[in-house]
Structure 1
């Protein structure tokens, strides 16, 4: 079908899937937008939440309505930035709304953040990335009391300036406390490490074995480009362009590369997707360490050692993948049990792009249900950064109402 009409608002197809925990929207756009989401609270004033950098959406809040935009996409070129700004103007007209507050992610390099900080709107509110993820679920389900939040994604700017992404927090809409996180590891080359998962595989091997990992008798090490590793190891030692990250998505990248599924990716999440696709169901867990610090540090070095041992013993990679998925679910479920024992909380909220992995979600959901937790996930907005703006709006509203 062809036509010569101008396109005034670009609107992608929506994507919905079924999971163990119910319906999950991966992209909320055509067919859902511009219908508002009803909140069980009142926005104290009209506000605009600008969302994140990838899979961007924005959200307008007015009265008890949250107007989440169509899928804008990754804010990485002029066309998408223009669509973002034009979309905001169109929605303001559609909703008859002039924002009196503007909400943004804490990452200083996000273009959505720069847009907010440069805005003429006087009242500006920054919201931590993973708090917004958890708040998006809380807003959907009308949860106001404190919950155990598990926020799992690739990277998001943390309150300490590090790149978070494997977080267990105790949160309400107004604030949060970081209870536990996966151990920080360097992200060598920054964004380049996301596009080249072999870098994270080498980092985790070094974490587990030290420099002796170069003598390991496994295919990944045998195929490693040592000239590249030499440069990268010097970067890590000198802390040059190697920000620390606790991102769970990067651990999935590392294991996928260790199993030789993918050394470089063509699109976001490709390595973890392929890792999930080959996995066979498993109810056994690898070893892991848990610190007695505050916050608790979750160390997967023992798991990496066991994965290497399995590779040396020619265990099928499908079984290794299945056992890895179950281990991550087991780690997270055990931490929820610890939080419940210490804080008396029984509601668990799951959000972040890693929970688009249906096998991980299934494993964790089942473990939590068996432990008699109440479990909540995103049903009306995406768990990825496409739902971030709703969480930002909910957090800002709660803080303004304090």
Structure 2
């Protein structure tokens, strides 16, 4: 049996970190930060070249995110061309779950839930609430959160009121947008956003969990505009935790979320969060009521996710589920979901030493690429053409 290939992984865009996987051992670089900073880009390249120098037998592949415009992706392709090895693109949420498998030494199969802000999907859309089947042999998308419109595109991630407005539109209540948000953001802007949503102009859909959290915070008036990443989600968790701490063990009235079946044989199921947003949008913006509604959001979401995961695990014939992605930094969501899954007799794997956020993504990229190459070698006839210099391959449909 041939030794596993040495793989360099260049990470993603936010909280970037690279790493080298060789002989089953993982060596991570320092955390470089977001690649919007030129200093972080220079640090990533220096780290990547230093890691290459530490592979005695050379690097056999360079892994990167599926998004072609990330500096990390372009660097990976450049380095692969210099080394004469393949550059392998790995879908963002596949890498999140693969990182958990790599850390725990598990080959799968597992059902994985990746919850974060955004990652490019294989369909070109913004993913972020993904139910996946993953093993060392490949992966499949089983389901996702019901998408919300990103009203105005990327700016919606910085302005939670836009996500709350998108939730109103998804509930068939778009006529409420000007009256609800006009006093805070201006009647002209609120009216323009209503028209954008009605016409679908610059309103790409996203299954992002982070954007649903933004919508919830915006609906409760806890955050309308964010000055830093995850500010709205943190405010929502704080309100929920504070209410639960004072409730003396009492829980809010919880909602049962619908799991929408696949619309076609090869389609994906969807977890529908619209009833939760309807509850929050109808909550009077009084601190005590906001806290109870925020707790309802967290606990109902966790219970819905647990039921969804359990059904998928039964269908896939596995008792092991993996949880990863930046949204699992939310302790309230993580603990409730873990508890509910364990009550159903499922084995739950989560990151321990590795980050659940994008800082831990490179490990998953490297694990996927190493297994992809090993699987290709095992299945290819002896006459198969070797990869050409700098050849781009995608593991996103393995």
Q: CA deviation at 1:82?
A: 0.6
Structure 1 residues 288, 159: closer, same or farther in 2, change over 3 A? same
Aligned to 1:380: 353
* Distance (Å, rounded) in 1 between the aligned partners of 2:3 and 2:172: 52
Q: Would the alpha carbon gap of residues 157 and 381 (structure 1) be closer, same or farther in structure 2, given more than 3 Å must change? A: same
Q: Which position in structure 1 is the counterpart of 2:151?
A: 188
Structure 1 unmatched ranges of 5 or more: 1-40
- Of residues 229, 237, 261 in structure 1, which corresponds to 2:190? 229
117 and 251 in structure 1: CA distance in 2 versus 1, 3 angstrom threshold: same
What is the CA–CA distance in structure 1 between the aligned matches of 2:118 and 2:130, rounded to whole Å? 11
CA distance change for structure 1 residues 42 and 138 in 2, over 3 Å: closer, same or farther?
farther
- Contact 1:57/1:71 (CA < 8 Å) preserved in 2? yes
Match of 1:291 among 260, 275, 278: 260
Match for residue 48 of structure 2 among 88, 95, 110: 88
**1:192-214 deviation per Cα after TM superposition (whole angstroms, max 9, x unaligned):** 11111111111111111332324
The match for 2:11 is: 51
Match of 1:244 in 2: 205
Task: Please give the per-residue CA displacement for 1:69-110, whole angstroms capped at 9, x wherever unaligned.
Answer: 111110002111111111112233345463221111111221
Residue 299 of structure 1 deviates from its aligned partner by 1.6
Q: Of residues 285, 296, 306 in structure 2, which corresponds to 1:323?
A: 296
1:254 aligned residue (215, 220, 227): 215
1:173 and 2:136 matched: yes
CA contact (8 A) 1:220 1:260 kept: no
Instruction: Give the 3-state SS of the residue equivalent to 1:383 in structure 2.
Output: coil
Q: Any idea what SS the aligned residue of 1:213 has? A: helix
Alignment of 1:47-196 (within 5 A): 47-96=7-56, 98-119=58-79, 120=81, 121=83, 122-196=85-159
Residue of structure 2 equivalent to 1:268 = 229
TM-score normalised by the chain length of structure 2: 0.85
Deviation at 1:117, TM superposition (A): 2.5
Q: Distance in 1 between matches of 2:93 and 2:340?
A: 22
Over aligned residue pairs, what C-alpha RMSD do you find?
A: 2.2
Q: Does structure 1 residue 209 correspond to structure 2 residue 172?
A: yes
The within-5 A match list for 1:327-338 is 327-338=300-311
Q: For residue 57 of structure 1, report the CA deviation from its aligned partner.
A: 0.6
Q: Please state which structure has a larger fraction of its residues in helix.
A: 2
Change in CA separation of 1:204 and 1:55 when aligned onto 2, cut-off 3 Å? same
**Paired residue total:** 360
Q: Hey, what's the Cα distance between the residues in 2 that align with 1:313 and 1:374?
A: 40
C-alpha change, 1:85 and 1:42, in structure 2 (3 Å) is farther
List structure 1 segments (4+ residues) > 6 angstroms apart after TM superposition.
312-315
Deviations 1:264-285 (A, max 9, x none): 1111111101111111333642
What SS is found at the alignment partner of 1:170? strand
Distance 1:367 1:384 in 2: 22
Q: Retained in 1: the 8 A contact 2:101–2:108?
A: no
Mark the CA change 1:347 to 1:288 in structure 2 (over 3 Å): closer, same or farther.
Answer: same
Partner Cα distance (1:347, 1:304) in 2? 30
Q: C-alpha deviations, 1:185-241, integer Å up to 9, x for none?
A: 21122221111111111111111133232487xx65654533112333343344443
